[in-house]
Amino acid sequence: MLLNRMLLLSLGFTLTTASRSMPHARNREKQVDPAKPRLSDAPGLAMQGLSLFKNNKFINEGISCISCKELLKILKKFSASDHQFVAAGQGVCRALGPFIGIASEEICRQGVAEHGPLLAEVLRGIKDVDASDAATMLCNNFLQVCEVVSPKSNLVFPEPDESGAKAMSMISGRGSYKVTHFSDLHIDPLYRTGTSGECDNPVLCCRTKGDGKHPVGPFGYLKRCDAPLSLEESMYDAIQKVAHDAEITIFTGDIVERQVWHTTPKSNMESIKAAYERMKERFPQFCPAVGNHESSPANWFPKREMLTKKYNIEWLYSLLTKAWKGTQVGQIQAKHHRGRYVYRLQEKRLRIIGINTNLYYFLNLWLYRDPIDPDPEGQLRWLAQQLQEAERAGDRVWIVGHMPMGDVDAVRHSSGTFGDIVTRYNGTVSAMFFGHSHLDQYQITYAAGRERTPDTALAVSFVAPSLTPSNGFPAFRVYTVDEDSQAVLDATTYFANMSEASFQTAPTWRSLYDLKSAYGASFKPDGSFDNATAAIYVPTSAARWHRLTEEWEMDRDLFDRYWRNMYTGSGDVKKCDDECRRKEICMVRGGRAEDNCAGKAPGVKLGRRHDNQGAGEDRRSSSSSAREQDNHCGSSVLLDGLRALFDPDLQAKIREVALLRG
């Protein structure tokens, strides 16, 4: 989209603006009016930034590792001080105001002010762009150029306790219990019934009166707006109705709304504190995770040793420690949880380990510091130690986090180390629970360095859909879990159909599907189960999940069922063609980020994405997998911004606009 590209000219990927409301260049070509303010009216720094892009031959030749590093060198020239960096970016925003509109100019300036200082800090830390691993990793993660940076972990694992692993792999069939799982609330405290759901300024959608053509109801508006408090309460009512006997509740993070260009610690604290109070009233026994939107600025999770008065995340960790009191996790004595914890249910011989996956999120710019840290805050080493203790005690483990560790958003070296840990302790890890994608998904982790087959499939990540209706209808999950092995026996997704006339009066929550009914052939009992236990106590194991993906390769209708379920009942889903199906199957098999077919292989040329993102338009290309299409935690906007500098359409527009300077 031309607007996104013009907004992000001078900072590349600093801004995280609301691109969905802005039309693509092909639909918004506009003659420049000489009578309007010209670029020559902008500050000198902004002018210099634009002219650099016009004349740099490396950038004009297209995306490559060399051109990306040339871009970083240009940006680095503006990073001597935060003030200079922000002034340059905001100067460009003001200069482009006549061409993009007042609302978009304001979002542009807010985004620069919010995210510019951290990018400037990162650039200042890169001493030699050509020799920097941080620069290489930036180019690889944001543009899929340059080689993958793979700092080596020095983790060494002791030999497994074979007797413990063997005993825990057995399923007795003596009983089961329920677990509920919801994720990605993204509650907008300013949502107002009767306001406009369609607007040019995303700050105002569902918040202020519009033309009256698209009024929003009390329970939410599909795709354009985050969730109102009433929708959250409705979901909690439904959970207590369909799973009133659930013994554990899992919440995998993201409370704050997604307007990431103007958050503050104060507003985030208010939202987080209030949300956890509501959860504790309904679900006193729940296990949480910290989402990437909980920080301010969003995605901002510096390591402990990076903390200064200016750059501090302790307010969030301190808040979580207080907010989690009165829950299962809150019983653990800790000064700060720092987003991680271990809770043991002694009667079940189950340990729930929460990890802070934001330490591995590629939009966390604190990761781009030389030398690259293979294990930020030592969390992966800590995880291995906790799993070793659980193995020694003969306990089962669930791992709970926000971002799936095989997600396209996970940095590859951390995802690989995590996969090594799961490989070593696969006899102890019975399930993993995540959110973040806003999709109803699953991922399989395989033995490290082995071909992906049923025999090498080790663990399943259960990725819950979101409450906020960004991709599809609001939804949550209920699991049936074996009492002894703590393996997931079945999973049912419940949703509320927003297209029903009664939705805005009182949402009706009903079952969308359950695994064994939807994909029964892959979960049939084998000879190890007798007739009495076969129907219920067949686990949804990693091996069985792999066999299901093999069925999808042969059975188009069966795969299409999964594809539709991924969008939680929404009818606004394009058909997934053969290439799309191949990528999505690869994504399900991608418990390691390097294996998910949407990773950061060097030399890949990025085509246009999100070419049409107006109101009500389907954003899902038929040849792209779901996670390539629908990233609702900001990365698609950042990618568009950096990639935009190499777009021929934009470069032509830059030259056209620059000519007005005379």
Q: Return d(Cα 172, Cα 137) in angstroms, integer.
A: 47
Residues 6+ apart with CB under 8 A from 490: 479, 480, 514, 515, 516, 540
Q: Do the beta carbons of residue 525 and residue 423 sit within 8 Å?
A: no
Q: Do the beta carbons of residue 12 and residue 92 sit within 8 Å?
A: no
The stretch 93-105 carries a mean pLDDT of 72
Q: Return d(Cα 573, Cα 80) in angstroms, integer.
A: 47
Which of 85-99, 375-389, 596-610 has the weakest average pLDDT? Answer: 596-610
| Residue 12 pLDDT greater than 80, yes or no | no
Query: What is the reported pLDDT for 610?
Result: 31
| Residue 226 pLDDT greater than 60, yes or no | yes
* Domains identified in the chain, total number: 2
Domain final residue, candidates 557, 588, 619: 588
**Residue bearing tokens 């070593």:** 424
Burial 256-267 (b: 16+ CB within 10 A, else e): bbbbbbebeeee
Query: What is the reported pLDDT for 230?
Result: 95
Q: What is the mean pLDDT of the chain?
A: 79
Neighbour count for residue 462 (Cβ, 10 Å): 25
- In this structure, the answer to whether residues 527 and 635 fall within a common structural domain is no
Which of 194-208, 473-487, 546-560, 578-592 has the weakest average pLDDT? Answer: 194-208
* Tens-digit pLDDT profile for residues 392-440: 999 999 999 999 999 999 999 999 999 999 999 999 999 999 999 999 9
Alpha-carbon distances, residue 296 vs 83, 266, 369 (angstroms): 19, 9, 20
Query: What is the reported pLDDT for 527?
Result: 56
* Portion of the chain with pLDDT greater than 70, in percent: 73
Query: What is the reported pLDDT for 141?
Result: 87
Q: Do the beta carbons of residue 653 and residue 50 sit within 8 Å?
A: no
* Tens-digit pLDDT profile for residues 596-643: 887 555 444 333 223 333 333 333 445 666 555 444 454 443 444 444
| Residue 483 pLDDT greater than 60, yes or no | yes
* Choice between 198 and 601, residue whose per-residue pLDDT is larger: 198
Q: Which domain holds residue 646?
A: 2-148+631-661
- In this structure, the answer to whether residues 355 and 441 fall within a common structural domain is yes
Q: Return d(Cα 397, Cα 530) in angstroms, integer.
A: 27
Q: Do the beta carbons of residue 480 and residue 489 sit within 8 Å?
A: yes
The stretch 30-37 carries a mean pLDDT of 38
- In this structure, the answer to whether residues 454 and 380 fall within a common structural domain is yes
| Residue 571 pLDDT greater than 70, yes or no | yes
**Residue bearing tokens 């710019």:** 365
- In this structure, the answer to whether residues 68 and 128 fall within a common structural domain is yes
* Choice between 447 and 529, residue whose per-residue pLDDT is larger: 447
Query: What is the reported pLDDT for 215?
Result: 87
The stretch 549-559 carries a mean pLDDT of 95
Q: pLDDT tier at 330 (50, 70, 90 boundaries)?
A: low
Domain final residue, candidates 567, 588, 609: 588
Residue at 62 is within a domain: yes
Q: Do the beta carbons of residue 176 and residue 482 sit within 8 Å?
A: yes
Q: Do the beta carbons of residue 462 and residue 432 sit within 8 Å?
A: yes
Residue at 76 is within a domain: yes
Q: What is the CATH number of the domain that holds 452?
A: 3.60.21.10
Residue at 598 is within a domain: no
Q: How big, in percent rounded to 5, are the helix, strand and coil portions of the chain?
A: 40, 10, 45
* Tens-digit pLDDT profile for residues 285-329: 889 999 999 998 889 899 887 777 778 888 999 999 888 876 666
Query: What is the reported pLDDT for 658?
Result: 47
Q: Do the beta carbons of residue 82 and residue 129 sit within 8 Å?
A: no
* Choice between 102 and 550, residue whose per-residue pLDDT is larger: 550
* Tens-digit pLDDT profile for residues 501-550: 999 999 999 999 999 899 977 777 665 555 545 555 667 899 999 999 99
- In this structure, the answer to whether residues 646 and 527 fall within a common structural domain is no
- In this structure, the answer to whether residues 559 and 510 fall within a common structural domain is yes
- In this structure, the answer to whether residues 646 and 577 fall within a common structural domain is no
Domain final residue, candidates 588, 620, 644: 588
Whether 237 has a binding-site annotation, put simply, is no
Q: Please report how many Cα atoms fall inside a 13 Å half-sphere around the Cα of residue 326, on the Cβ side.
A: 12
Alpha-carbon distances, residue 340 vs 295, 359, 398, 401, 424 (angstroms): 15, 11, 13, 9, 21
Which of helix, strand or coil describes residue 491? strand
* Tens-digit pLDDT profile for residues 245-297: 999 999 999 999 887 667 889 999 999 999 999 999 999 788 999 999 999 88
Q: Return d(Cα 565, Cα 645) in angstroms, integer.
A: 37
Q: Please report how many Cα atoms fall inside a 13 Å half-sphere around the Cα of residue 529, on the Cβ side.
A: 18
Query: What is the reported pLDDT for 437?
Result: 94
Region of residue 538 (left: phi > 0; alpha: psi -120 to 50; beta: else): beta
- In this structure, the answer to whether residues 404 and 446 fall within a common structural domain is yes
| Residue 43 pLDDT greater than 50, yes or no | no
Query: What is the reported pLDDT for 447?
Result: 93
* Choice between 529 and 19, residue whose per-residue pLDDT is larger: 529
Whether 186 has a binding-site annotation, put simply, is yes
Q: Residue 299 has which token pair?
A: 């995605």
- In this structure, the answer to whether residues 513 and 367 fall within a common structural domain is yes
DSSP string, 47-99: HHHHHHHHH-HHHHT-S-HHHHHHHHHHHHHTTTSHHHHHHHHHHHHHHHHHH
Q: Residue 159 has which token pair?
A: 């030999």
Whether 632 has a binding-site annotation, put simply, is no
Q: Return d(Cα 598, Cα 13) in angstroms, integer.
A: 19
Amino acid residing at 210: G
Query: What is the reported pLDDT for 369?
Result: 93
Q: Residue 97 has which token pair?
A: 């105001």
In 418-508, beta strands by DSSP E = 429-434, 441-446, 457-463, 475-482, 488-496
Helix axes 578-588, 556-566, angle to 10 degrees: 70
Residue at 338 is within a domain: yes
The stretch 35-64 carries a mean pLDDT of 49
Q: Do the beta carbons of residue 301 and residue 359 sit within 8 Å?
A: yes
- In this structure, the answer to whether residues 529 and 657 fall within a common structural domain is no
| Residue 11 pLDDT greater than 50, yes or no | no
Query: What is the reported pLDDT for 536?
Result: 59
Residues 6+ apart with CB under 8 A from 191: 206, 207, 216, 220, 225, 226, 227, 228, 229
| Residue 88 pLDDT greater than 70, yes or no | yes
* Choice between 149 and 652, residue whose per-residue pLDDT is larger: 149
Residue at 205 is within a domain: no
Strand partners, 459: 445
Q: Please report how many Cα atoms fall inside a 13 Å half-sphere around the Cα of residue 200, on the Cβ side.
A: 10
The number of angstroms, rounded, from the C-alpha of 373 to the middle of its chain's C-alpha atoms is 21
Q: Please report how many Cα atoms fall inside a 13 Å half-sphere around the Cα of residue 565, on the Cβ side.
A: 25
Residue at 417 is within a domain: yes
- In this structure, the answer to whether residues 400 and 266 fall within a common structural domain is yes
Residue at 100 is within a domain: yes
Which of helix, strand or coil describes residue 235? helix
The stretch 124-151 carries a mean pLDDT of 91
**Phi, psi (degrees; rounded to nearest 5) at 122:** -65, -45
* Portion of the chain with pLDDT greater than 90, in percent: 46
**Phi, psi (degrees; rounded to nearest 5) at 402:** -90, -60
| Residue 83 pLDDT greater than 80, yes or no | yes
| Residue 8 pLDDT greater than 50, yes or no | no
The stretch 335-362 carries a mean pLDDT of 89
Amino acid residing at 536: I
Query: What is the reported pLDDT for 40?
Result: 40
Whether 546 has a binding-site annotation, put simply, is no
Q: Do the beta carbons of residue 501 and residue 508 sit within 8 Å?
A: no
Q: Return d(Cα 539, Cα 490) in angstroms, integer.
A: 7
Q: Please report how many Cα atoms fall inside a 13 Å half-sphere around the Cα of residue 461, on the Cβ side.
A: 33
- In this structure, the answer to whether residues 582 and 641 fall within a common structural domain is no
Q: Return d(Cα 410, Cα 388) in angstroms, integer.
A: 24
Read off the pTM. Answer: 0.85
Whether 293 has a binding-site annotation, put simply, is no
The stretch 106-113 carries a mean pLDDT of 80
